């Protein structure tokens, strides 16, 4: 019934070019954000092993996502299907690696100083779950390309948050840095909705479902983060670590002026 409700499609090549361009655009933003941090000296390779494992897994996902876009663009559907089976393994690996690195970061530093600690932990966890849910849903819809491509675009847009955040002057955005950095990730599926409307005359239902799920999880995660339960959860994560020493609210470290 879902596919029957979808709008009629244009020749496959036109949509394929759009989704390929979006895949590389989102990947470029993520890579640009992390590269800028390295060049600016805000990060380095001198970090514990979990950081490197996390980076390898997430960069591997970017490579896999772009490879899927290219195989679709070139019509290599057998390879596309094989890579899709690999994605079934990679998605839970992404969620696991993301959870581990968030705990490591929270215990080392309490999270980035320009974020509320509870926002960073609770809402970040929720965002990872939203990514995993949407990505697996997309993989389950591979026979229906309209759903498959759009759901995966929404899933991938969630991962652009860290890249976007590293490109913005986050200290200047306190106390709204977290909401702004996450809010900007919605730009990618919104672009997709605009393209659908212009090309097909209506927006594919996959966008409405995908964005609604992502937005609902995000708003619920903010409510939870600011609840006693969310605060207790964050306290439990950082208990007995250096991360417990930082303020819960966003703050400016000594030596950083505004």
* Stronger pLDDT, 11 or 184, i.e. the higher one: 184
Q: How far apart are CA 3 and CA 10, in angstroms?
A: 15
Does 51 score more than 70 pLDDT? yes
DSSP 105-163: HHHHHSS-TTS-HHIIIIIHHHHHHHHHHHHHHHHTTTTSHHHHHHHHHHHHHHHHHHH
- The pLDDT score that the predictor gives to residue 40 is 77
Q: Which of the given ranges, 10-19, 30-39, 50-59, 180-189, has the highest pLDDT on average? A: 180-189
Mean pLDDT over 186-192 rounds to 98
> pLDDT grade, residue 8 (50/70/90)?
very low
Q: Which of 24, 26, 44 is nearest to 35 (CA)?
A: 44
CB under 8 Å to 213, separation ≥6 — which residues?
130, 133, 134
Mean pLDDT over 108-113 rounds to 94
Span 116-156, pLDDT tens digits: 999 999 999 999 999 999 999 999 998 898 999 999 999 99
Instruction: Supply the mean pLDDT for the chain.
Output: 91
- The pLDDT score that the predictor gives to residue 65 is 96
- The pLDDT score that the predictor gives to residue 258 is 53
Whole domain around residue 110: which residue ranges?
12-40+50-243
* Stronger pLDDT, 258 or 179, i.e. the higher one: 179
Say if 254 falls within a structural domain.
no
Say if 256 falls within a structural domain.
no
Q: Which of 174, 179, 203 is nearest to 191 (CA)?
A: 203
Span 59-110, pLDDT tens digits: 999 999 999 999 999 999 899 989 999 999 999 999 999 999 999 999 999 9
Say if 258 falls within a structural domain.
no
Say if 191 falls within a structural domain.
yes
Mean pLDDT over 162-179 rounds to 95
> pLDDT grade, residue 6 (50/70/90)?
very low
- The pLDDT score that the predictor gives to residue 255 is 67
Say if 121 falls within a structural domain.
yes
Does 1 score more than 60 pLDDT? no
Span 194-215, pLDDT tens digits: 999 999 999 999 999 999 999 9
> pLDDT grade, residue 15 (50/70/90)?
confident
> What are the helix (H) ranges across the chain?
12-39, 49-73, 77-109, 117-118, 124-139, 145-167, 177-183, 187-200, 205-225, 228-238
Say if 255 falls within a structural domain.
no
CB under 8 Å to 184, separation ≥6 — which residues?
160, 161, 164
- The pLDDT score that the predictor gives to residue 9 is 41
- The pLDDT score that the predictor gives to residue 256 is 67
pLDDT above 70: percentage of residues in the chain: 93
Round the CA-based radius of gyration of the chain to a whole number and report it.
Answer: 19
Say if 250 falls within a structural domain.
no
Say if 3 falls within a structural domain.
no
Q: How many domains does the chain have?
A: 1
């Amino acid at each position: 019934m879902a596919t029957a409700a979808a709008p009629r499609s244009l020749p496959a090549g036109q949509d394929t070019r759009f989704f390929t361009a979006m895949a590389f655009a989102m990947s470029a933003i993520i890579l640009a954000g992390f590269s800028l941090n390295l060049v600016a000296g805000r990060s380095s390779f001198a970090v514990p092993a979990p950081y490197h494992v996390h980076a390898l897994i997430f960069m591997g996902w970017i490579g896999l996502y772009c490879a899927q876009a290219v195989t679709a663009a070139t019509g290599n559907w057998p390879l596309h299907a094989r890579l899709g089976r690999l994605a079934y393994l990679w998605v839970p690996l992404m969620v696991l690696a993301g959870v581990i690195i968030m705990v490591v970061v929270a215990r080392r530093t309490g999270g980035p100083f320009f974020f509320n600690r509870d926002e960073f932990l609770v809402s970040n966890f929720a965002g990872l779950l939203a990514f995993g849910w949407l990505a697996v849903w997309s993989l389950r819809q591979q026979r229906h390309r309209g759903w498959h491509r759009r759901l995966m675009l929404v899933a991938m847009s969630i991962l652009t948050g860290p890249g976007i955040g590293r490109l913005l002057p986050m200290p200047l955005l306190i106390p709204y840095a977290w909401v702004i950095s996450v809010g900007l990730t919605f730009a990618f599926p919104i672009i997709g909705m605009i393209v659908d409307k212009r090309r097909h005359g209506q927006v594919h239902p996959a966008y409405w479902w995908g964005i609604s799920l992502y937005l609902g999880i995000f708003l619920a995660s903010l409510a939870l983060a600011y609840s006693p339960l969310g605060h207790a959860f964050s306290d439990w994560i950082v208990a007995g670590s250096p991360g417990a020493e930082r303020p819960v609210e966003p703050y400016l470290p000594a030596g950083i002026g505004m």
